[in-house]
Structure 1
Amino acid sequence: MSSTEITGRDESEESMELRQLRYFVAVADEGGFGRAAERLGIVQSAVSQQVRRLERQLGVTLFERSTRRVRLSGAGERLLPEARGVLAAAERARRVAADLASGAEGVLRLGTVRGPGDRIYRLLDGLAASAPGLHVRPRRLPPAERPAAVRAGELDAALVRGLTASPGLELLPVWTDPLYVALPEDHPLPAGPLTGRELPAGLPLRLAPREENPPFHDLITGALRAAGAEPLLGPPFIGLQETLMAIGTGPPSWTVFYEVAGVPRVPRVAVRRLDAPAVTTSLAVRPGPPSPALRRLLQALAALPGGGDLR
């Protein structure tokens, strides 16, 4: 049995329109249909028609009408504060929707990277200043998992280092950082910045396994091959401080790293800046027009020093 058969009333007749409630409140406030029509900027017959339709839908009389005056009935007095509440709630909903459409409010799920410096904090501060109602939920995932999380919709965007392409994603470069070489301090290398052709290819190279960070692994091994040297992989990279200590105290080896919280100094380890290659950090997003919250993120990234044009 349908709801219409149970109630004897079509569902379309049971739904109140905000317009009807607005007209009802205007008549109650102005004390008459004519003055309410003037306030609303419509003809009086339209106000009367919509109020009567509301009364039919509710099954109550909202106004006591006479040739001399119109006043609220008992039912009308009871309904009036509820109608005001509904209209106020609808107005709040409209304001929230407008803020969501502009990106001023909402939730942004962002995959982040570590360092360098305070760049991420400045990014979050910029977002908070331009859109105080936008709640950013930073999430740190292993490098290999971030693109998949964006692709699956678990993240709205993610910062990724060294990635040049990823199926189903658009990569927007946001900044580029230099790389540093760490090697035993007695190794005969120039004291200044190095190029790819000056890398110590004959020493075992400490890199994290490729499956942990494919873009960075490929960037370094590709630079060696471009310089005509086949990478000689040594013990794995196990964290910057631990790896630098191993280079300073163990058999000769070397590594490449990017700055996270300053360039560390470790006894018996020399650190040289690489002129090339460098590592580019990109924002991984799904293709198509950006959401309002994502537009705010792109604006905040573009406002950072070296952020480039991300509009």
Structure 2
Amino acid sequence: MELRQLRYFTAVAEEGGFGRAAERLGIVPSAVSQQISRLERELGVVLFDRSTRHVRLSGAGERLMPEARAVLAAAHRVRQVAGDIASGDEGLLRLGTVQGPGDRIHRLLNDLAVTAPRLQVRLRRLAVVDRLAAVRSGELDAAFVRALSTAPGLELLPVWTDPLYVALPADHRLADAAALRLEQLAELPLRLARRESNPPFHDLVTEALRAAGAEPLQGPPFTTLQETLAEIATGAPSWTVFYEVTGVPSFPRIALRRLAAPALTTSLAVLPGPPGAALRHLLQALREPRPADPSRTGRRDPSATGTAQPS
């Protein structure tokens, strides 16, 4: 059974004859008659009563007509949905994500909901290595990654940049500085998460220290934010560096200061080549962010930011 046979079937029934149906369909009457006969043989029933001057539905034809129309309507809907998917108006975007910083991801999803309200977004949190592998394999359409400058087989599109912050004892001589440079901190042991926990961030900090002419002085590893800040506040002088994730309260006897450089770049990892329709909507939302809510603007106290090292 072919869809065109069902279209011919409904056209003959609605027009009351093969000639008028053929005219409506833009084909010759013999083609309509031939396809109706084939459909009748396949179904094993007579669809039309041809004994009068007017072609009328048989009993079997009347019973099958609603089913034929339902099939044609479903086929039309399939084409509509396929067209919407091809244009990016509808479909599924599989996106590897990171936590924070701030509410950028939430704002991005809101923008997508406005520009492509029928586009579904499926977020997945994976380790950075797994995130990149999922993009390469096609399991994800794209993934956000931090601090990466290269990723074999993928294209990295920088999407935003965030400052890094330093935590050090509040009574240290550098605690009064508005912003700090890495070389100023080289004399203090650095509490940094082990490289296997977050290779890109670990390399960003250590390579920036070496570029500034200072070899990293390794201290105890960064564990959790609360534990690390507690040890910095109560133990021998040391420091750590982190990026904003979610809000946390200020910590006693800790100074939080902005780091002058480097900054933390978040990129979108994608396969090389023209993006698919759903991914085009994401890229457009990233290029043309909506204005921020004025009620949420203003300077932020670094002591009130959430922070992290592991990605």
> Could you state the TM-score of these two structures normalised by the residue count of structure 2?
0.87
Task: Pick from 265, 274, 279 the counterpart of residue 289 of structure 1.
Answer: 274
Cα offset for 1:264? 5.1
Task: Pick from 128, 144, 150 the counterpart of residue 135 of structure 2.
Answer: 150
The one-letter code sitting in structure 1 at the alignment partner of 2:153 is: G
Structure 1 CA distance, aligned partners of 2:5 and 2:166?
A: 73
Residue by residue over 1:273-301, the C-alpha shift from the partner in whole angstroms, topping out at 9 and shown as x without a partner, is 12210010001122232222222221222
Cα offset for 1:262? 4.5
SS in 2 for 1:235: coil
SS in 1 for 2:34: helix
SS in 2 for 1:69: coil
The one-letter code sitting in structure 1 at the alignment partner of 2:266 is: T
**Structure 1 residue aligned with 2:181:** 195
8 Å CA contact retained: 2:158, 2:265: yes
Residue by residue over 1:245-285, the C-alpha shift from the partner in whole angstroms, topping out at 9 and shown as x without a partner, is 22112221101111112475212111111221001000112
Residue by residue over 1:61-84, the C-alpha shift from the partner in whole angstroms, topping out at 9 and shown as x without a partner, is 211214611111222222211111
Structure 2 CA distance, aligned partners of 1:231 and 1:49?
A: 84
**Structure 1 residue aligned with 2:298:** none
After the TM superposition, which segments of 4 or more aligned residues of structure 1 sit over 4 Å from their partners?
none
Matches within 5 A, 1:31-180: 31-66=16-51, 68-180=53-165
SS in 2 for 1:159: strand
> Could you state the TM-score of these two structures normalised by the residue count of structure 1?
0.87
8 Å CA contact retained: 1:208, 1:217: yes
**Structure 2 residue aligned with 1:254:** 239
Residue by residue over 1:198-217, the C-alpha shift from the partner in whole angstroms, topping out at 9 and shown as x without a partner, is 3x111111111101111110
Structure 1 CA distance, aligned partners of 2:237 and 2:131?
A: 34
8 Å CA contact retained: 1:127, 1:297: yes
Structure 2 CA distance, aligned partners of 1:54 and 1:209?
A: 70
The one-letter code sitting in structure 2 at the alignment partner of 1:197 is: E
Residue by residue over 1:170-209, the C-alpha shift from the partner in whole angstroms, topping out at 9 and shown as x without a partner, is 11111011111111122222512223333x1111111111
Task: Pick from 156, 167, 170 the counterpart of residue 182 of structure 1.
Answer: 167
**Structure 2 residue aligned with 1:242:** 227
* Unpaired stretches in structure 1, ≥5 consecutive residues: 1-15, 307-311
1:239–1:144 CA distance, 2 compared to 1 (3 A): farther
Matches within 5 A, 1:204-283: 204-262=189-247, 265-283=250-268
1:305–1:196 CA distance, 2 compared to 1 (3 A): farther
Percent identity of the aligned residues? 74
Cα offset for 1:305? 6.4
**Structure 2 residue aligned with 1:8:** none
* Unpaired stretches in structure 2, ≥5 consecutive residues: 292-311
- RMSD between aligned residues: 1.9
Of 278-287 and 32-41, more deviation after overlay is shown by 32-41
**Structure 2 residue aligned with 1:10:** none
